[in-house]
Amino acid sequence: MILNIQKISKTFPGNEVLREVSFHIEENEKAALVGINGAGKSTLLKIIVGEMQADDGTVILSKDRTLGYLAQHQDLTGDATVYEQLMQVRQDILDLLRRMENSERKMSHLTGEDLENEMASYARIQEAYERLNGYAYKSEVVGVLKGLGFTEEDFGKKVSTLSGGQKTRVALGTLLLTSPDIILLDEPTNHLDMNSIVWLETYLMNYKGAVLIVSHDRYFLNRVVTKVIELNHGSARTYDGNYDAYSRKKEEIRHAEYLSYMKAEQVRKHQEQVIAKLKQFNREKSIKRAESRQKMLDKMEMPDKPLGEDPVMGLSFAPGIESGKDVLTVTELSKGFDGISLFDDVSFEIKKGEHVALIGNNGTGKSTLLKILNGVYLPDRGEFVLGSNVITGYYDQEMHVLHPDKTIFDEISDDYPTFNNTKIRSALAAFLFTGEDVFKYIRDLSGGERARVSLCKLMLSNANFIMLDEPTNHLDIESREILESAINAYTGTLFYVSHDRYFINRTAGRILDLTHKTLLNYIGNYDYYLEKKEDVEKAGLAPELLVAKENADSDAKLDWKAQKEDAARKRKRANDIKRCEKEIDTLEKEDLEIDTLFEDPKVSCDPAECTRLGNRKEQIAARLEELYTLWEELQESEE
């Protein structure tokens, strides 16, 4: 055991955040700390590292163990460059290198015993240098910087001139190179693009020390952690396994607790009904029996109702007007800023009912593409066309659509005056606003709460084509799961930008990857995208697909064309099967009708009609034989 948390409690004025929280972290263990926004995750990390005092409880770090901590926000100052900042972590190696260089200069002027002594000293220094992996320290620093998304051009920038997100990445790189025995990370993926997140996952999975992570990135947690500690209403509960295992086990426990609560409620209500009936009899014995039952009921231990019980979901978000089959057609769209091209000749289509995710590294132009489609920017070249009856809705990261002086309830009711109180409350409850929460003012809400209100408004609109730019930003895990349920219940068309791979896996049926100024199309979720992407890279096709523009365009169009042709073949085969089955059904019914006609005396006594019907039966039999064979072939083809 490297870290032991014993009964930590912390209360702020009017708010008990932590109540006797206990858990432990083993050597080399990778653990996650999860909970809704405000559950106390960051507070607990600050208590562990000594930045905040607990009201009660103990934090025990094993003797002679080192601890590193990455907060959400960093304010690095000074004249050091990005490269120099990380090199400071390797000061011990730099000192040894300097001593080795000094020793080498000395040896060039020494002889005899003095030379032997200096050579022995040099050997000891060199051994220490090799033990610290000194010959690879530069490549290690460069590897971490590039892994975290810095280019070589960034290495010479002063950290004081960096953005907040870049400073956080520098601090993360510094911490990783320090290699403490246990690392505490508070939202480490917030400022990383997908490639950097994947690099960090691999780094942490192979890290020799222990790691405790606070993160809303469920895909990241799934890959890295083997234990999840949940903070819920001040208390902590530990689950073994990754995030998916935690989610399943939590649901099982919640369901069991809810069943136990409902069973106890049934017993209580039944006893109350029996007591009331006994009292109605108004006889001495019945009244005594009622009193006896009441005493037993008063002593009965009732389980508490499970906290955070199901919100009012099952709400179907359906647009008021259906669009045509063709929702969006983009043709040879190009855009750049200040002479720098973001994407060139991008073409794609979105059909009715599709849920399409647009992914790509930071700075590739994903949000710009959405802004073009919503009229915020004009393209440099190309065009896009919306289909018939298409009504668009747009959610951007800035969320400018809310009014700070309105309550949450008024924000919805003013935009949708035909909605009654019940419908408004049901919709808000689907986004976790219940009870008196609906009367909070917009100005008093957190970023995550404002995001939920904006998304609720959008899902209630008549829009049948919704575009979302990073909809899960600012949302805790519970809110992300609510949004996933709402999106999966949405019957319109969806096109969104997101770096949340878990969210994409749950909600997307198709992925467009904006890379090297063009789009690659994948018909499937994020796991399928990864599988397909790895196949392309293993086959050595990535350079031809992604580097040379002509080949990239050609291969992307071929891939898209091949997938469209395959989908068309499947639709044709399904239609052929239906037509075949329909004709079989029609002919079999006709054959039975002919048999019935043969039983009619008028027909059986008419030789000409019998001959005609007999010939028709032979024709039907021959055609049915053909159809049965065709049906089997179509079924085999489908398999």
Which tens digits make up the pLDDT trace of 503-514? Answer: 999 999 999 999
Residue for token pair 């700070």: 404
Of 231, 309, 310, nearest to 38 by C-alpha is 231
Integer Cα distance of 357 and 374 in angstroms: 16
CA atoms within 13 A on the CB side of 473: 18
Average pLDDT over the chain, rounded to whole? Answer: 85
CA dihedral sign of residues 76, 80, 84, 88: negative
CB 453 within 8 Å of CB 431:
yes
Integer Cα distance of 531 and 540 in angstroms: 15
Q: Give the tens place of pLDDT for each residue, 358-417.
A: 998 888 899 999 999 999 999 999 999 999 999 999 988 665 578 889 999 999 999 889
Strand positions, DSSP E, 352-456: 355-359, 381-386, 392-395
Q: Give the tens place of pLDDT for each residue, 4-50.
A: 999 999 999 888 999 999 999 999 999 999 998 888 999 999 999 99
Nearest-10 Cα torsion for 479, 481, 483, 487 = 180
Q: Give the tens place of pLDDT for each residue, 158-189.
A: 888 888 778 888 889 989 988 899 999 999 98
Integer Cα distance of 446 and 439 in angstroms: 14
CB 391 within 8 Å of CB 327:
no
CA dihedral sign of residues 587, 593, 598, 603: negative
SS3 label, residue 465 = strand
Percent of the chain clearing pLDDT 90 (strictly above): 35
pLDDT at 638: 56
Q: Give the tens place of pLDDT for each residue, 591-621.
A: 888 888 888 888 778 888 888 888 888 888 8
What counts of helices (H) and strands (E) characterise the chain?
A: 21, 18
Nearest-10 Cα torsion for 549, 555, 556, 561 = 150
CB 381 within 8 Å of CB 343:
no
pLDDT at 233: 86
Tokens of 553: 């365009």
Tokens of 545: 């697909």
Q: Where are the alpha helices (DSSP H) in 153-206?
A: 164-178, 194-205
CB 113 within 8 Å of CB 203:
no
pLDDT at 549: 36
Give the contacts of 93 (CB within 8 A, at least 6 positions apart).
Answer: 129, 132, 133, 134, 137
Q: Which stretch of 41-45, 51-55, 357-361, 632-636 has the lowest confidence by average pLDDT?
A: 632-636
| pLDDT tier for residue 550 given thresholds of 50, 70 and 90 | very low
Integer Cα distance of 150 and 174 in angstroms: 13
| pLDDT tier for residue 628 given thresholds of 50, 70 and 90 | low
pLDDT at 441: 93
Of 284, 357, 316, 300, nearest to 506 by C-alpha is 357
Please report, as a single letter, which amino acid is at residue 371.
Answer: K
For residue 34, list its beta bridge partners.
230
pLDDT at 544: 38
SS3 label, residue 503 = helix
Taking 50 as the threshold, does the pLDDT of residue 541 lie above it?
no
Strands of 56-61's sheet, edge to edge?
A: 15-25, 3-12, 56-61
Mean pLDDT of 307-330: 72
| pLDDT tier for residue 311 given thresholds of 50, 70 and 90 | very low
Geometric angle at alpha carbon 276, from 270 and 282, rounded to 5°: 145
Taking 50 as the threshold, does the pLDDT of residue 266 lie above it?
yes
CB 8 within 8 Å of CB 43:
no
- Is the model more confident about 638 or about 288? 288
What secondary structure letter does DSSP report for 441?
A: B
Integer Cα distance of 11 and 7 in angstroms: 13
CA atoms within 13 A on the CB side of 116: 2
Give the contacts of 13 (CB within 8 A, at least 6 positions apart).
Answer: none
- Is the model more confident about 550 or about 42? 42
Integer Cα distance of 43 and 613 in angstroms: 88
Integer Cα distance of 161 and 51 in angstroms: 27
Taking 50 as the threshold, does the pLDDT of residue 309 lie above it?
no
Residue 605: CB atoms within 10 A of its CB come to: 9
Residue 450 is inside which H or E element, if any? helix 447-460
| pTM score | 0.69
